[in-house]
Each structure stands twice: as structure tokens, then as C-alpha cells.
A and B are shown apart, each in its own frame.
Chain A
Amino acid sequence: MLKVYFKQAWNLIRQERLFSLIYIVGTGLSVSMVMVLSIVFYMKVANIYPETNRDRILVAKSGMVSFENGRNSSSSLSEGMINTCFASLDGVEAIALISRKDGEFLLQPEGDPVQLPVTVKYVNTDFWKVFPFRFIDGKPFTDADQQSAIRTAVIAESLSRRLFGKDEAVGKYISLNFRSYRVCGIVKDASLVTRETYSLIWLPYTLADGYQPNSSFYNTEALGEFSAYILASKDKNLADLKKEAEAAVERYGKTLHDKTFTALGQPDYYWQSIFRFWSNSRPEYGKLVLQYGLVLLILLLVPAVSLSGMTDSRMERRLAEMGVRRAFGAPVTTLMVQVISENFLFTVLGGVFGLLLSYLLLYLSRSWIMQLDATFVDVLPEGADVVFSPSMLVNYQVFGITLFVCFLLNLLSALIPAWRASHRQIIYSLNAK
């Protein structure tokens, strides 16, 4: 039966080209806007190279210390706090530390007077376990390098090619802010889509200027310059680990000398962590849901009303057919199913167009779209570009979302017209030309 409906719909499309075109473009527009948002969100939370363990990660980025005199301080976390709270928890496989310390880094290529601005991240050895970068050559820096603060560096493939061409880079030296570092490993580039781990050079965190073991900001003990990414082992339930970690933080918060500490509900699941922006307040998830919900509703509703209008006028023209069908005993539900499934063909065509359009929009807006919701937007590092790999855009999750959006939009735009068309008086319908 469905085959007949689709055949009929296909013929309708061919008969009324302009109208069908308008309808498909209208659907496509709506789908593309929704999909841009969905794909951005997908790229932020799904397992994407090198953050392929996002579904096993808990994130603690910040905390707040309250002093007895009523003052508060909030910032990133100290090494001591992270180790005390999370290192001894059962089921923790590794804890990656990423230093928030940023500054200006210039690379001095050998034999070239022009300095190269680069992104540098200070990380620990566990970073390479939590975020399984693909090593093209060499190895991560070792625990010994980290402990003795030996100047070693892991660099990205693109940088290696730029500095050393096709030559083997491992074992060579690079000059960064006029200090020389030995290259110990080369990894496949991370995209700026994964901004937390993106870098061109990764150094042991003990090399950061002014680093001192177990230091903290202004003697707060708990506050420092690190974010912790806690990888749970495969057989550990993440929700349990989160609860245990929260309890550990709470215990820790009470042991501090003449002050208290709270991590404001952290560690977060990875998806929660992308909404955590301020270090002194919790994200209001309710408000966020409302906000995004409203935007999605507008993006679907505005086109849906106009599409309903068009479907309704199309039904008007087919009233006679409906009348005949009903006169010969077709039940209302059959007619409604027919109208809705016919319409689904239009919507799916629009959906395909919309998905392609959303790829185009994403490509055009790549320099800022990933930070759509940010309060402060990071400027792209000089010379860097956000690269979307095909696997981020073309995968069954994205197709699934598209199909669901189409289904929803189709229901929104065809349900009422279908109901109205199939509930007309038969006499009236038959009388229509």
C-alpha cells in the first residue's frame, strides 16, 4: 500500500514542480538549521578523535573556596586536591591533568627569522592514556621526564612536517620561546573541534613557568591551575564513580584549614562539562534545556505552520479524490495515514537537502560555530583552521537525528491538514472540482 502512496506522491511532485520545490526547500531550511545545532552538539559530546573515551570520562574543572571571613575564591583545581580526591578511588584508570596556564608561545624554526605562533598545552603522562592520541612516531614523554622536568615535547604531525619536512623528527630539538626541547613523539593532529585537547605541542606540566609541586593559589590548598579528566575503567559504572568522587570531594572540602571547599557538583559527566563555564556557579541545566528547547521549537514551528498551510491548500485540490475514496468506504484513518505518509516523501527529500545544506553551513561557519553558546569566544590560533573530519559529519547518529527531525516536522506539518481533509463532509468533498 505504501508503495502506491509513494508512487502517487512522486507523480504529484512531478506534476507540480514549483510547488514541490517550494515545499522541499522550506523543509530543507528547517532541517538544516536544526541539524547544524544537532551536529555541533554531537561533535561536542560524542567520542571523537582524540577524545574517544568521552563516555568513560568524568571532568572536574573548577572549585570554590569559602574563607571564614565570608570571602570566596574560585578557580581551577590544584594538583593536591585532584590527587587527594580522585587518585585513590576504586575504578579510576587514569587522571589526565591539563594546565590552564596559557601564554604566548613562539617557535623559532631553524634558519628562519620569522617566529611561528603555536598552541602549547602542559599535560601529565596520564593524559596520553585518557586521550588515546595516535602516535605516528616515538612515544609520549615518560614519568621520569615529568618528574625531573626534562625538556621533552610531543608535537603534532602537521608541525613536524612544517619544521622538518619528511625527515624523522623524533630525537631532534625545537626552539620554543628560545628554549630548546627534545621531540619525543609525533601524534596525528587533533582538530580544533576538540578544543580541550587540541594543541600543536604538548609538554610535561612540570615544565610550566613557576611550577612548584603541590602549590596552590594564594594558599587555598584546593585551587590551582589544573583541570582533571578522570577515566573510569571499562567495568566501572560511571554513575557510581561520580557519586563516590562527589563524596570524596565533600570529605576533602571539610578537612581544609580554616576554610571550606566545594566543587559545585563536579566531577561532571562529559556532556555536563561543556556547559560549565563559570568557576563559582553551577550551570542551570533547567534554564539551558528551556533555552535550547525554545530555539528548536521556533526552528521547527515556524516552517511547520507554513508547510501546514501549503499541505492544506494541496489537500483542497484533492478533496474530490478524498470524497470518492470515502464514498467507496475508505476509513478516516486510512486516508490520514495516506496523506501523512505521502507527505513524508516530501519531507525526506527536504531532509536530504537540509542535511547537505547543514554541512555547507557548518563548513562556512567553522571558525566560530563550535563556540555558538560561549560567553567568551576564543579566537582561533593564528594560522589554524577548524577541520571537520568526515566521520564527525557522516555517521549513523547524525542520520538518525535527521530522520527523527524529518518525522517530527512531517507530523507537525501534515497532521492537522490530514485530519481536516479526511473529516470533511463527503458530499462537500465530492462536490469539489
Chain B
Amino acid sequence: MLKHIFKQLWNRKRANIWIGVELLLVFCLLWYIVDYFFVLEYNKSLHSCRDMDHTWQVEVALLPPEHSEYQPGESDSTALEDNCYRLLDRIRGYKGVEALAVLSNWSTPGGGGYYGDWFRSRKDTTRSGHGQAILFDPRTDFFKVFRYTTKEGKPVSVDDFDWADPKSVIIGNMAKETFFPDGDAIGQILESPEKPDEWNFVVKGVVGDIKRFDYERPQLTFYRAWRATADNITEEMEIAVRSRESIPDKQFLQDFKQTMSRELRVGNFYLKGVKSYNQINKDTDFEFGQTNNVRIRTAFLLFFLINIMLCVMGTFWYRIRMRRDEIGLRMAMGSTRTGIRKLLILEGLCLLAIASLPGMLIEIQLIYAGLIETIGKQNNQLVTYLPDHVVLRFILTNCLTWVLLAIAIVAAIWLPADKAAKMEPADALHYE
């Protein structure tokens, strides 16, 4: 049967060349987009030992001196700190709040800020790496608010670690494997390759890995102590809370704002706003252009698929009108209606198979030219992920592209093929 179809395609090569070229073009272009989404979805599927659902950024600010309720006596540093602690206590005491954390706004989870650290292991100075520093106040439970877990999935709390030493650092699992691959990390020293004597930290614990953004890969992370003081409260302090799961997000937001607007008018502080960390993450994705990247690629994907469907539908619709006699003859010779439909659909798939071979050759050229991007790929990382295996990725993305196109083609041929199959044999033969 296949041989027969190929022969027929060859005999009608003049008509088939257009659809062949179109399939070839679309196959390559579609593959380029499929490859992008493949890497994106793969990254998204990687586990992050952090949970941002039901977490909220509580923004407080100070009244300016021009405000009628401004109290000059409350603005010295002692009053500022005292008021801040009272304010934190009030938030902690709110019935819907499960946990509270105070952190530096350089480290907003899901936000655009980034504070980089560069460390090496003191024991083996050849082991070094760049990563993100996350700074929070160890008197509050940052790990509980964002539901950090160990690599094995066990929940962790800030209190699990010893923060007495101001040079304490907690590292992510990947950092442990990078700096201390053989043995225990606890008690080891991380130091800056530039100023090893001034800038060094003692590892006090290991937590699971997180991704900075959902579309990226897990990264090296260092959790360091940062304390809210009068100097940084106004500029740098950020308050994060986790609401109880039993309360719907919408209700929490509404109730919290309503109750706390009054409660948080402490000294010159007032509640400016509450925003969910998931929303912050979404906004950052938008600002960093990631949302647009996905939208534009989706638009092109749809454009290519609709084009190929229109092309196949148009061409086959004509083809079937031209080949009525042939179809009539087949029916007269005993071919069933399903048989006719199957024949036409197989013809379409064979065309796709033929077009995909040169298509893959073009794709290989694109790979060699370095035009294929891998989102989230970091320099000199230890772990290799599926998208790093070029051949496997090539095969998988091509299979996906093929299946996607095959579905589009079958859907497009269905209507004309159905029409052909429903033709009365006598009618069809009449054309002969």
C-alpha cells in the first residue's frame, strides 16, 4: 500500500511539489518553536523546593513630614525600630497569618532584584561558583513562609539552624555538591576568591534547590543573615507572610487590608499595600519579556499550523475533485469508504514523512550555526539536564513536531476525504 502511495505521489509530483515545499518550510519553522517550548516546559517541570502559593508581600511605608498625622517624635531611630517591631508583632498576631518573614528587598522571591555572591571552598579553592544570595532576618521564619524543604522533601524551619554566628550561611543542595562534593558541608567555610580573609562564611545547613524563575533551572543559592535595623527599615526591608490554607486568597486579601489598615498605623507607619508573590512573579516575567516571548511564539505556532491546515485542505479538496474518476474506479473495484479515507490520509502523512527528511537536515544546520537557544542554561554547571543532550533533544523535538503536524494534516484532510468517501460510486464513475 505504501509503495503504491509513493508511486502515486511521484507521478503527480508537479502538483505535490507545492505542498511538499510548504511542509518542509513549516516543519523547520515549527520545530524551532517546538524546541523552545520543549525546553521551557522541561524547565517548568523541574522541582523547586519552595512554594509561593498563599504568600503575600505586605508593604508598609512612612508618612511624609507634610502629612497632617505625621509625628516628628516618632522618627528617631529607636522609635522607628520599636514601632517596626510592634507592627511586625501585630501582623504575626493576625488570625489569618501562619508565618511571617522579614527579608531584604534585593531577595524578593519571584522579583526582579538579584544579589550575586561569588564563593569558593576554603578546603579546595579550585571549587568556586556564582550564585544568588538571599538575605533575610533569622529572627523570622523565612523558610516556613516559603515552605522550603530539603532535597528529600522534609520541611525546614529557620530554627533548625544555628544563627548565633553572624557569618552563618545556609546553602542550597546544588551549592553543596559544587563546593563539597565528597562529604559533609556543615562547618565548612565559603570565602570570596577576591577577599578571602574579609568575606567568608561558615556553612550551617543545607536546604533543597530553588529556581529563581519557574522557566529557569535550579541555581546556586546562599541564604545569609540580614537584620532589620533603623538604617535599612525604610529603604530595604520587606515583609512576607503566609496565609492559612483554609482561607481563600481573595478573602484573606480583603480581610487583611480592611483590618490591618487601622492596626498598622503605628507611629508614622501605615499599610501601603498587599500583593501576592505569585503576582509579583507574573509581573517580573512580563517585565523581563518572558511573557512576550511565549506569546509571540504561540502566535507564530498557531500561524504556521493554520497555514499548513489551509494549504492541505485547499490542495486536497482540489485533488479529490480532479480524481473523482479514480475514486469511483476504486469503489467499483470494492474499496470501502473507510479505505478511501485511509488512502487519502496516508497520502498526506507520506508527504509529511518525505518533507521531514530534508527538514531535519536544515535543522542540523541551524544547530551547528548556534541559532538554537536553551533557556536557563548556565555556564559550567555540574548537572546536565535533558535539553543538554543534543541528539536526544533533537530526536524528541522532531517527534513532537511530527506528531503536531500529523494531527493538523489529518484534521485538514478529514473534511475533503469524507466528502470523497461519501461519493456514490455511480456518480464518481460517471466522470470516467
Instruction: Give chain A's interface residues, CB within 8 Å of chain B.
Output: 18-19, 22-23, 25-26, 29-30, 33, 113, 177-180, 298-299, 301-303, 305-306, 308-310, 312-314, 316-317, 365, 368, 371-372, 374-379
Residues of B within 8 A of A (CB): 15, 18-19, 21-22, 25-26, 29, 63-64, 66-67, 261, 283, 286-289, 291-292, 295-296, 299, 303-304, 306-308, 310-311, 313-315, 317-319, 321-322
Interface contacts beyond A309-B19, A313-B322, A372-B292: sample of 7 additional A-B pairs, CB < 8 Å, sorted by A = A26-B311, A26-B314, A177-B64, A178-B64, A178-B66, A372-B296, A377-B288
Q: Are B307 and A309 in contact (CB under 8 A)?
A: no
Contact yes or no, B306 A302, CB < 8 A: no
**Cβ of B125 to closest chain A Cβ, rounded Å:** 29
Are B287 and A305 in touch, CB under 8 angstroms?
A: no
Q: How far is the CA of A378 from the CA of B112 in the complex (A)?
A: 13
> Are A29 and B15 CB-contacts (below 8 A) given A376-B288, A377-B286?
no
Query: A306, B307: Cβ atoms under 8 Å?
Result: yes
A-B contact pairs, 11 of them (CB 8 A): A22-B313, A25-B310, A302-B303, A305-B311, A309-B22, A309-B314, A312-B15, A317-B322, A371-B292, A372-B292, A379-B286
Minimum Cβ distance to chain B for residue A105 (Å): 12
User: CA–CA, A371 to B287, complex, Å?
Assistant: 10
List, in ascending order, chain A residues with CB within 8 A of B25's CB: 301-302, 305
**Contact residues in A for B295 (Cβ distance below 8 Å):** 365, 368
Residues of B within 8 A of A376 (CB): 287-289
Partner of B318 from A298, A305, A314 at Cβ < 8 Å: A314
Would you call A19 and B307 a contact (CB within 8 A)?
Answer: no
| CB atoms of A298 and B287 under 8 A apart | no
Give complex CA distance A368, B318 in Å.
41
Q: Which residues of B contact A303 (CB under 8 A)?
A: 307
| Chain B residues whose CB sits within 8 angstroms of the CB of A312 once the complex forms | 15, 18
Among the listed B286, B299, B307, which residue makes an inter-chain contact with A302, where contact means beta carbons less than 8 Å apart? B307
C-alpha gap A79/B322 in the complex (Å): 75
Residues of B within 8 A of A178 (CB): 63-64, 66-67
Cα A22 to Cα B319 in complex, Å, equals: 15
Question: Complex Cα distance A30/B18, Å?
Answer: 18
Q: Which of B292, B304, B317 contacts A19 (CB 8 A)?
A: B317
If A314-B318, A374-B289, A379-B286 touch, does A302 touch B310 (CB 8 Å cutoff)? no
- Which B residue's beta carbon lies closest to that of A375? B289
Contact check, A306 vs B314: say whether CB atoms are below 8 A apart: yes
* Residues A317 and B29 in contact, CB atoms below 8 Å apart: no
A179–B303 CA distance with the chains assembled, in angstroms: 52
Q: Which of B26, B66, B289, B311 contacts A377 (CB under 8 A)?
A: B289
Q: Which residues of B contact A33 (CB under 8 A)?
A: 299, 303
Using CB atoms, name the residue of chain A closest to B316.
A313
Among B18, B64, B291, B315, the most chain A Cβ lie within 10 Å of the Cβ of B18
Does A302 lie within 8 Å of B64, measured CB to CB? no
B18 engages A22 (CB within 8 Å): no
The answer to whether B310 touches A306, judged by C-beta atoms less than 8 angstroms apart, is yes
Complex: how many Å from CA A57 to CA B66? Answer: 40
Residue of A nearest to B289 (CB): A377
- Given known contacts A309-B311, A313-B319, A314-B318, is B15 in contact with A377 (CB within 8 Å)? no
Q: Whose C-beta in chain B lies nearest to the C-beta of A117?
A: B273
CB distance from A413 to the nearest CB of B (A): 10
A interface SS class: helix
A368 and B22 contacting across the interface, CB-CB below 8 Å: no
Closest to B302 in A: A29
Secondary structure call for the B interface: helix
CB contacts (< 8 Å) of A179 on chain B: these are 64, 66
A19 to B313, CA, bound (A): 9
| Smallest Cβ-Cβ distance to A25: which chain B residue | B310
Chain A nearest CB, measured from B430 CB (Å): 13
The one of B67, B261, B314 that contacts A310, using a Cβ cutoff of 8 Å: B314
| Contact indicator B287/A313 (Cβ below 8 Å) | no
Output the residue of A299, A371, A377 with the most chain B CB within 10 A. Answer: A377
Nearest CB in chain A: distance from B130 CB, A:
22
Query: A309 contacts B18, CB within 8 Å?
Result: yes
Which chain A residues lie closer than 8 Å to B287 at the CB level? 376-379
Shortest Cβ distance from A150 into chain B, in angstroms?
16
Are B15 and A316 touching (Cβ within 8 A)? yes
CA distance A305 to B283 in the complex (A): 40
Query: Is B63 in contact with A22, judged by CB distance below 8 angstroms?
Result: no
> Which chain B residues lie closer than 8 Å to A379 at the CB level?
283, 286-287
Residue of B nearest to A365 (CB): B295
A313 close to B315 (CB less than 8 A): yes
Alpha-carbon separation in the docked complex, A29 to B67 (Å): 57
Instruction: For residue A108, give the distance in angstroms from its CB to the closest CB of chain B.
Output: 9
Residue in A25, A299, A301, A313 with the greatest tally of chain B CB atoms within 10 Å: A313
Closest to A295 in B: B300
Q: B284: nearest residue on chain A (CB-CB)?
A: A379
Query: Which chain B residues border A378 with CB–CB below 8 Å?
Result: 287
The answer for the CA separation of A25 and B291 in the assembled complex, in Å, is 28
Given the complex, which residues of A lie within 8 Å of B29, measured CB to CB? Answer: 298, 302
Task: Please give me the residue from chain B that is nearest to A311 by CB atom.
Answer: B18
A179 vs B296: C-alpha distance when bound (angstroms): 43
Task: For the complex, give the distance between the alpha carbons of A372 and B308 in Å.
Answer: 25
Complex Cα distance A180/B66, Å?
9
Complex: chain B residue closest to A175, CB-CB: B66
A313/B64 in contact, CB under 8 A: no
Residues of B within 8 A of A299 (CB): 303
Which residue in chain A gives the minimum CB-CB distance to B290? A377
Neighbouring B residues of A30 by C-beta, 8 Å: 307
Closest 6 A/B residue pairs (Cβ): A309-B18, A306-B311, A313-B318, A310-B314, A26-B310, A305-B22
Residues of A within 8 A of B18 (CB): 305-306, 308-309, 312
CA–CA, A177 and B61, complex, Å? 12
Residues of A within 8 A of B289 (CB): 374-377
A186 to B302 alpha-carbon distance, docked (Å): 45
A256 and B306 alpha carbons, distance in the complex (Å): 59
What is the minimal beta-carbon distance from A90 to any residue of chain B, in angstroms? 42
A33 — nearest CB in chain B belongs to which residue?
B303
Give the docked Cα–Cα distance between A306 and B288 (Å). Answer: 36
Residues in chain A near residue B311, CB distance under 8 A: 26, 305-306, 309-310
Q: Are A306 and B67 closer than 8 Å at their CB atoms? A: no
> Which residues of B lie under 8 Å from residue A18 when comparing CB positions?
317
**CB <8 Å contact, A302 and B22:** yes
Closest to A299 in B: B303
Q: Which listed residue (A22, A298, A314, A377) contacts B292, Cβ 8 A? A: A377
Give A36 to B209 CA distance when docked, in angstroms.
42
- Roughly how many angstroms separate A378 CA and B66 CA in the complex, as a whole number? 31
Q: Which residue of A lies closest to B70 (CB)?
A: A178
Q: Which of B295, B307, B314 counts the most A-chain CB atoms under 10 A from its CB? A: B314
Residue of B nearest to A302 (CB): B307
